[in-house]
Structure 1
Amino acid sequence: MFSCTSSPSRGRPDAGSDASSDSVDLIDADADAGNPEDCRQRLFEDVMIPVGDGAQLAAFVVRPANPACRVPVVLVQTPYGKQNFRAEFFDNPVAEHPLFQSRDYGFVVLDWRGFFGSSNAPAVSLTRGYGEDGYDVVGWIARQPWSDGSVGTWGVSALCRVQYQTAVLRPAALKAAVPIFCQMNYTYLETYPGGVIRREYMQFLGAYFGAGVWEAHPTRDTWWTWAERYYNPSDVAAPMMVVAGWFDLYNTGGIDTYHELVAGSDPAVRDGHRLLAGPWHHYASGGESTGTRPLTEQEMLWFDGTREIERWSLRFFDAHLRGLSGAGWDDRVVFRAANEADWETSLEWPPADVTEHAWSLSTDGALRESGATVGVRTLPVNPFDPSPTLGGQTLLSTYDHGPTRQDEVVAREDAAVFVTGPVSTPLRLTGLARVELTASVTTIDGDVAVRLTDVDPEGNHTLITDGIARLSLPSPYDTRTLLTPLAPVEVRVDLTNHVAWTVQPGHRLGLIVTGSNYARFDVNPHNGAAFFTGAGVAADLTLQLGPEAVLRVQIR
């Protein structure tokens, strides 16, 4: 492992794309293109692209004005409006976008069928989905006179998942893909971490795509078995650079997908897959969807302001679309921890040098490596006044995104707070974390929610990641068994995200335990119902503390 102290695209004037500060000239297709001497000048052209069922899909093309120029092409497929994408990534006069300002590529940005300019296209069906459209569009691009026949795909969130749907159909011209902040398949734990539905996530999906199918399967039944295997990594025959954010809601699913690709994709491309991970929330790259508000000052701390995602994407495309030998990199994993300046590389994730460290929850509020005192802590849990979600792995714009101060959570009577002593050397959290303890509740069901925090010298808790467990629905989440009130239950809470976070000297590691975390997770009504629909009862949650109540974290 070694540190990379500079951006991947800097300091390489003779290798990789020319994405210098000289902007690419962009003109509309009906403008006079003149007689350009090179491929610098580009045309914007609105097109309708035919696909296999006879539909026409709306797109714009950015291509060389010089008809003699043939370039590799990057395809973006979006449900959020191609014009919105153009406004941010091509027309924004102040934003730097190294990939989309590159002179070495053409671009096609497409409205999904049923959305925006493609709203008149027939809806998706059992035989025609977004992946089939992607397959046809990749072929269309490869046949255009301004294309050199090599196509890559790029995109975030929904624009990410459609890349997997396209890739598994193996379009011949698809040579590389950069799926950012998503995972290949829908999974139970993506939707129901710890057996509890992610309520604000469902609110977002319901607004755009409908959420009924997910709510119809609150246990891990055969539908989930089918959904989790719907797309097969073995059908992927193009190298992929999977991008994950430590504070993104798809963090674990994206990293799991990367591991599945390395182990199970077409053998010819397994060595080409890469993982890029950094201190980003879901909106860190900008322009993912419409209707989002401006990011706050706190959220901008975890925004990709230096466009590292695009810089690494450009380098990945240079290696696989342009065949530049100096553009690739050997180590499979490139990552940067929160609160660290340097990029690091590793052959695997988590890195081979991580170890698991344990702290016990003591009755005096300490996280102790030894000597934790035994006792209980009882917390009130009111479904009509739940512990509020403050930041984290959120999607809806009504909630903060990423690491956020937990002042309101800590101040409530329904929170049990535990902290280590101040660390004297950097404590590098690197990988996964979980909490194991015994709990009981006065009703027939309950939840245990935990938040892992960084505590500054003034005692302020900043969220790193969180997790929850429904007591009636333990792993493997296929059978709900209602509780006997007050009967002790062994609980394991897996925190939802992989983390790379450095607790700096003088700071402390913190853990907040509550009976809810709404609206990131649904409220437990405590009456045996799978969801909170307005009816519920209050409960008391009792935690058994001492050496057997343990926080386990992977560290370096």
Structure 2
Amino acid sequence: MKNLKCLRLLCFLLAVCAVTTSSAQELPKPTRFMVAMDDGVKLATDVFLPDGESPENTSKKFPVILARTPYGKEPGPLLAVNLGKQGYAVVIQDMRGRFDSEGNDSIVFFNDGDGEVHDGHDTLEWLAEQSWCDGNVVTWGGSAGGVTQTMMAPNAPAVLKAQHVLVAFSDMYSQAAYQGGVWRKEMLDGWLPGHNFDPRSYKEFRAHPKRGEFWEPGNAEKGAAQVQAPGVYWGGWYDIFLQGTINSFVTIHNGGGEGARGKCRLILGPWAHGTFKELKYPENSASPGPVDDAVRFFNHHAKGEQNGVSEDKPVHYYVMGDTEDESAPGNFWRTGDNWPPAADNTPYYFHVDGKLNPTAPEGDDSREYAYDPTNPVPTNGGQNLRLPKGPRDQREMENRDDVLVFSTGPLAEPVEVSGPVTAKLYVSSDCPDTDFTVKLCDVYPDGRSMLVTDGIMRARYRNSFETHEFMVPGQVYEIEVDLWATSIIFNKGHEIRVSVSSSNDPRFEPNPNTGADHFEEGDPFKVAHNRIYLSKDEPSHIVLPIFTEAK
């Protein structure tokens, strides 16, 4: 998460602020405050005022940009140089238990929202009381620094006027810890210990595989109606928190408080939590234009500037396309009034001969494969944090015996898919529990099967993430797999491909097929014989949001 934070910080300073800083310029030094929270714990908070003013004796007042982070306050001086020229005070704070702050971060991010401890709220109240604050605070940050914003928003006092949230989740359980009810192994096994978070976070997250009361402090969506500060929600099609970015916008723009409702912005580009190299999108993919300018958004909401922000379309998303054929459709920005765009949600059915098309099957077919959790399908690309990410070639995985592949054949005309993607599977197994994975790929004419998006679902949570229902061997169940969302034009001559299996390791922790919550080295396991039904009565399929300009 830290690498992306640094990347977007650089973009924010150089592209968004459009300010140059001499390499010889001396960076300002902060005034350090130890700000007491309601429970008495003090958080290290660095303050930088414009023009070298001191917060201890200035008579001036400024709007404030606040950033709260678990990664240290090093960016503060550079932020202050650039944003000070825009007339903003910059405040950067170590989260509870991190670096120079007191307390502990026993459950990371749970202290930032509206629980018993609410550090975001308390920090905003402290800022409102400072003589140098003009009563207008905005927040900015990416990844973990974006999560602190989403968590604070529902419980924020009136001093908060706007937020610029980059690549952040809005619900920790479903978007960060247990996507589809499955532990996000690649991300959490590396990130939590790698940044020396309190070990209790990892232990408690692992101990709570079901949604329930434990996860409520990490769910900002439930408080969307209380949010009064509009936000820009910025994310990528291959980002680890794509769905969180979308959900933040949808819940607050459509159902937020009066101050935020109808005033938010959603920006979705061909980006990941870091960089990828396998497909190179055109230079226009870097930004949708002025709507991406955080300072412009802040100036409107914190300073009252009439600078065009109120006329911006709420939604800007990049429609991906063939990256090699310059004449191919796609690779442009589209605007909209809301998300998702109007599209025809079209079932593409899986057929026993490997075909994929909108025609429902007429027979009574099915296909079976054996899933061995000690030999899982390896991860290659997708919405990863540490591993290679983004669109990568899936042919090696598709050639495995435990992967079922369905393809349209070369398309006679381009097909655009823009919006949420889901798969409905009819399945059975000889085990009490197992997982089902679905990948959507764009097959180039040279045979490369480039990942577009993917998802997973643990069978026991097919009806509710709050309780588990084990499978009866041989019984057929309907399972829905959420592949989140995308926007892409499959070019003429390309193929749309879907693959189905039961593992994607280490992106997701393999299911031992025994009913156990987790699968660690030495644990017992079973080989599952999983069947996908492709019949008239049980027609497994993927639902693609087919977009046409006429919509």
TM-score w.r.t. length of structure 1: 0.80
Displacement of 1:72: 2.7
Specify the alignment match of 2:65 in structure 1: 74
By how many angstroms is 1:414 displaced?
1.6
Residue identity in the other structure for 2:518: F
Quick check: 1:333 aligned with 2:315? yes
Secondary structure (helix, strand or coil) at the match of 1:472 reads helix
Q: Which residue of 2 aligns with 1:342?
A: 332
Counterparts of 2:131 and 2:378, CA distance in 1? 55
Corresponding position of 1:4: none
Deviation at 1:553, TM superposition (A): 0.9
* Matches for 1:109-508 after TM superposition, within 5 Å: 109-118=92-101, 121-123=102-104, 129-130=111-112, 132-141=118-127, 147-188=133-174, 190-204=176-190, 206-207=192-193, 208-209=197-198, 210-224=201-215, 228=219, 232-283=223-274, 295-298=275-278, 306=286, 311-328=292-309, 329-339=311-321, 340-351=330-341, 353-370=342-359, 372=361, 374=363, 375-395=365-385, 397=386, 399-495=387-483, 497-508=484-495
Distance 1:349 1:532 in 2: 37
Rounded to whole Å, the distance in 2 between the matches of 1:455 and 1:102 is 49
The Cα offsets for residues 452-481 of structure 1, whole Å up to 9 and x where unpaired, read as 111111111111111122233312234433
For residues 55 and 443 of structure 1, the distance between their equivalents in structure 2, rounded to whole angstroms, comes to 49
8 Å Cα contact 2:414/2:490 also seen in 1: yes
- Contact conserved, 2:221 with 2:248, CA < 8 A, in 1? no
Q: Is the 8 A contact 1:199 1:521 kept in 2?
A: yes
Tell me if structure 2 keeps the 8 A contact 1:234–1:261.
yes
Offset from partner CA, 1:138-158 (integer Å, 9 cap, x none): 455556676544221011122
Q: What secondary structure sits across from 1:211 in the alignment?
A: helix
Tell me the SS of whatever aligns to 2:474.
coil
- What is the DSSP-based 3-state SS (H/G/I as helix, E as strand, rest coil) of the residue aligned with 2:512? coil
Q: Is the 8 A contact 2:174 2:180 kept in 1?
A: no
* 1:7-63 deviations in Å (ceiling 9; x for gaps): xxxxxxxxxx9944643788547xxxxxxxxxxxxx342523423455553344443
**More displaced 10-residue stretch of structure 1: 152-161 or 437-446:** 437-446
Q: Is the 8 A contact 1:23 1:101 kept in 2?
A: no
* 1: CA distance, partners of 2:124 / 2:22: 24
Q: How much does 1:177 deviate?
A: 0.7
Tell me, yes or no, if structure 1 residue 64 matches structure 2 residue 46.
no
Which 5+ residue runs of structure 1 have no aligned equivalent? 1-16, 30-42, 92-98, 284-294
Cα separation, partners in 2 of 1:155 and 1:281, compared to 1, 3 Å: same
Cross-structure match for 1:7: none
Amino acid at match of 1:516: S
The alpha-carbon distance between structure 1 residues 268 and 226, as it changes in their structure 2 partners (threshold 3 A), is closer
Question: Aligned pair 1:517/2:498, yes or no?
Answer: no
Q: 1:105 aligns with which of 82, 88, 92?
A: 88
Change (3 A) 1:546 1:22: same
Alignment partners' CA distance in 2, 1:110 and 1:241: 21
Distance 1:316 1:226, change over 3 A: closer
Q: How far apart are the structure 1 equivalents of 2:140 and 2:403?
A: 42
Letter of the 2:485 partner, please give it. Answer: H
State the match for 2:325 in structure 1: none
Tell me how far apart the structure 2 counterparts of residues 451 and 553 of structure 1 sit (CA, whole Å).
12
Are the aligned partners of 1:124 and 1:130 in contact in 2 as well (CA < 8 Å)?
no
Q: How many residues align?
A: 501
Which structure has more helix as a fraction of its residues?
A: 2
Structure 2 unaligned segments of length 5 or more: list them.
1-14, 54-58, 322-329
State the distance in 2 between where 1:473 and 1:526 align: 14
Contact 2:373 2:512 survives alignment (8 Å): yes
Aligned mate of 1:532, from 514, 519, 532:
519
In structure 1, C-alpha distance between the alignment counterparts of 2:216 and 2:161, rounded to whole Å? 30
Tell me if the contact between 2:436 and 2:459 (Cα under 8 Å) persists in the aligned partners.
yes
Determine if contact 2:265/2:314 at 8 Å carries over to the other structure.
Answer: yes
* Mapped pair 1:542 → 2:531: yes
Instruction: Pick closer, same or farther for the CA change 1:102–1:435 going to 2, 3 Å.
Output: farther
Superposed CA RMSD in Å reads: 3.4
Q: Find the aligned partners of 1:308 and 1:23 in 2 and give their Cα distance.
A: 25
503-512 vs 366-375, greater mean Cα deviation: 366-375
Aligned in 2, Cα 1:235/1:438: closer, same or farther, shift over 3 Å? closer
8 Å Cα contact 2:120-2:156 kept in structure 1:
no
Distance 1:472 1:133 in 2: 36
> What per-residue deviation string (whole Å, max 9, x for no partner) do you get for residues 495-549 of structure 1?
2x22112222222111111121112222111222122133212222222225512
Q: Deviations over 1:46-98 (max 9, x none)?
A: 52342345555334444322549754331111101222x4599789xxxxxxx
1:124 Cα deviation (Å)? 5.8
**1:254–1:216 distance in 2 versus 1, CA, 3 Å:** same
* Cα distance in 1 for residues equivalent to 2:384 and 2:106: 30
* Deviation for aligned residue 1:449: 1.0
Q: Give me the whole-angstrom Cα distance separating, in 2, the residues matched to 1:125 and 1:211.
A: 9
244-253 or 296-305: which moved more? 296-305
Shift of 1:304: 10
Distance 1:427 1:63, change over 3 A: farther
Aligned residue for 1:201, secondary structure, equals helix
Distance in structure 2 (CA, Å) of the matches to 1:165 and 1:26: 38
- The answer to whether the 8 A contact 2:80-2:89 is kept is no
How many Å separate the matches in 1 of 2:100 and 2:449?
Answer: 46
Structure 1 counterpart of 2:35: 50
Aligned to 1:525, what secondary structure does the other structure show?
Answer: coil
